Amino acid sequence: MSQLEKRTWAEISLENIRHNYRAIRAALPEGCRFLGVVKANAYGHGALAVARTLEAEGADYLAVSCLDEAMELRDGGITAPLLILGHTPPEYTFLLADNDITQTVTNLKKAEEFSAACVHLGRRLRVHIALDTGMSRLGFLCGGDGAENILRAVRLPGLDCEGVFTHFAVADEVGADCEAYTRAQFRRFCDTIREVERGGFSFAIRHCANSGAVLRYPEMDLDMVRPGLLLYGYGDAEGKLGLRPCMRFMTRVSTIKHYPAGTPVSYGRRFVTERPTRMGVVGAGYADGLLRCLSNRCAFRVGDGFAEQRGSICMDMCMIDLTERPEAGVGSEVEIFGVESSLDTLADAAGTIPYELMCAVSRRVPRVYKDF
Ligand SMILES: *Cc1c(COP(=O)(O)O)cnc(C)c1O
């Protein structure tokens, strides 16, 4: 047992990241650029390790959410083009420029602030313009004076405006209504770009496809796609791309106890044994990212089968019923999610999406890079 695998750990397969990258890449039209989304510590997989893998594979761009995430990659030696999708305060423009980081610009006022900071520094900042076509989050609004504002922004002296993008609200959801909404967003995106072009400016890189759109709307690939979830092996329920999971969230049985029927288990006594029970204690709790709302609602792979999780999940441990898993003992490995314990099933049980459970795996959990 390696030192990192003594309690709770996450096994990360960079080989499977590579496999997924190639599978997605193979589905893209020729010449389409690939931006790999590695924000939030690469959805929990380790930003630097994943970024190095994607860079070596030839990814054209990487994206993160904020300046600190971008600096982690630059400090780690990543030289690929890097886009910050979220806000950066204009007083940090020098760091963006010094480190050749591309910043998203989401309205005219911020464009003016970045430009003014650049003029003051005697620098130029590479930016992508975000359009709000229906996500109602960041971005220039379309319609009205939208295109006019964008034209004003792209002509500012401090900005080098390389790209334009939008983000879909329901590209990953099925149904005619979601499809119509996504198509309407795409139409608004294209219409606004056309208006800007008529005003005399064209963007080198137009991009809008997140994982959902890469799968369902290939006609929206444009100059670059922007998948996150697919890279990590999820989001393709029909298995079109043959993706592989890249993370196994693992723990180990630390202790085994025997209780008679009628024994309350854990905080709140929310589970009471119904039979003589061989109960395992594992060293994974909500501080590791095993959400407490999963208490009494999930099962983990151990030995030759599954063991039901019993009682409230504590901060640092939880209990699993090993009565029917006599082959499992102290020291046995337990897969919380990954290859045999489905992340999708666990996310459903938690009332959430796979994204959240991957991101929830906390800093306390060592990442162990090995292929599976
Ligand atoms: C997170 C994010 C993505 C990636 O989304 P997935 O659903 O994981 O593919 C793409 N674009 C933007 C702007 C994002 O914030």
Residue extents of the structural domains in the chain: 31-232, 247-369
Among candidate residues 67, 71, 51, 49, the one with its CA nearest the CA of residue 59: 51
Q: Residue 66 half-sphere exposure, CB side, CA atoms within 13 Å?
A: 4
Q: What is the best residue among 37, 39, 243 to mutate for testing ligand 1's pocket, by most ligand atoms within 8 Å of CB?
A: 37
Strands 82-84 and 61-64: parallel
Binding pocket residue ranges, ligand 1, CB within 6 Å: 37, 39, 85, 167, 210-211, 226-229
Spatial distance between the Cα atoms of 228 and 63, rounded to a whole number of angstroms: 9
Q: What is the best residue among 20, 35, 167, 353 to mutate for testing ligand 1's pocket, by most ligand atoms within 8 Å of CB?
A: 167
From the alpha carbon of 167, which atom of ligand 1 is closest? 13
β-strand partners of 256: 280
User: Do the two domains 31-232 and 247-369 of this chain adopt the same fold?
Assistant: no
Whose alpha carbon is nearest atom 12 of ligand 1? 167
| Contact (CB, 8 A) for 276 and 328 | no
From the alpha carbon of 230, which atom of ligand 1 is closest? 9
Q: What is the DSSP string of 310-326?
A: ES---SS-EEEE-TT-T
| Contact (CB, 8 A) for 51 and 76 | yes
Whose alpha carbon is nearest atom 10 of ligand 1? 210
What's the whole-number average pLDDT of the chain? 98
Model confidence pLDDT, tens digit, residues 130-173: 999 999 999 999 999 999 999 999 999 999 999 999 999 999 99
Model confidence pLDDT, tens digit, residues 249-308: 999 999 999 999 999 999 999 999 999 999 999 999 999 999 999 999 999 999 999 999
What's the CA dihedral at 260, 266, 268, 273 to 10 degrees? -30
> Quick one: average pLDDT of 17-30?
97
* pLDDT at res. 200: 97
Q: In this prediction, what percent of the chain has a pLDDT beyond 70? A: 100
Domain 247-369 architecture? Beta Barrel (2.40)
Residue 346 has pLDDT above 80, yes or no: yes
Q: Interhelix angle for 67-75 vs 47-57, to 10°? A: 70
Strands 305-310 and 299-302: antiparallel
* pLDDT at res. 62: 99
Phi first, then psi: what are they for 59, rounded to 5°? -60, 140
* pLDDT at res. 190: 98
Spatial distance between the Cα atoms of 110 and 356, rounded to a whole number of angstroms: 30
What is the distance in A from the centroid of ligand 1 to the CA of 229? Answer: 8
Tokens 């319609």 correspond to 143
Tokens 């990543």 correspond to 78
* pLDDT at res. 58: 98
| Contact (CB, 8 A) for 114 and 158 | yes
Spatial distance between the Cα atoms of 171 and 174, rounded to a whole number of angstroms: 8
31-232: CATH homologous superfamily?
Alanine racemase (3.20.20.10)
What is the distance in A from the centroid of ligand 1 to the CA of 212? Answer: 9
What is the distance in A from the centroid of ligand 1 to the CA of 279? Answer: 41
322 Cβ neighbours under 8 A, 6+ residues apart: 253, 256, 278, 279, 280, 302, 303, 307, 328
Residue 280 DSSP one-character state: E
* pLDDT at res. 14: 98
109 Cβ neighbours under 8 A, 6+ residues apart: none
Model confidence pLDDT, tens digit, residues 187-242: 999 999 999 999 999 999 999 999 999 999 999 999 999 999 999 999 999 999 99
3-state secondary structure of 128: strand
* pLDDT at res. 2: 87
Residue 1 has pLDDT above 80, yes or no: no
Tokens 């650049």 correspond to 118
Tokens 């444009």 correspond to 222
What is the distance in A from the centroid of ligand 1 to the CA of 37? Answer: 7
Q: Which residues of 39-57 are buried (b: 16+ CB within 10 A; e: fewer)?
A: bbbbbbbbbbbbbbbbbee
Residue 98 pLDDT grade (very low, low, confident, very high; cuts 50, 70, 90): very high
From the alpha carbon of 37, which atom of ligand 1 is closest? 4
Q: Is the dihedral of CA 344, 348, 354, 358 positive or negative?
A: negative
What is the distance in A from the centroid of ligand 1 to the CA of 135? Answer: 12
Residue 118 corresponds to which amino acid?
C
Catalytic residues: 39, 267
Spatial distance between the Cα atoms of 247 and 370, rounded to a whole number of angstroms: 10
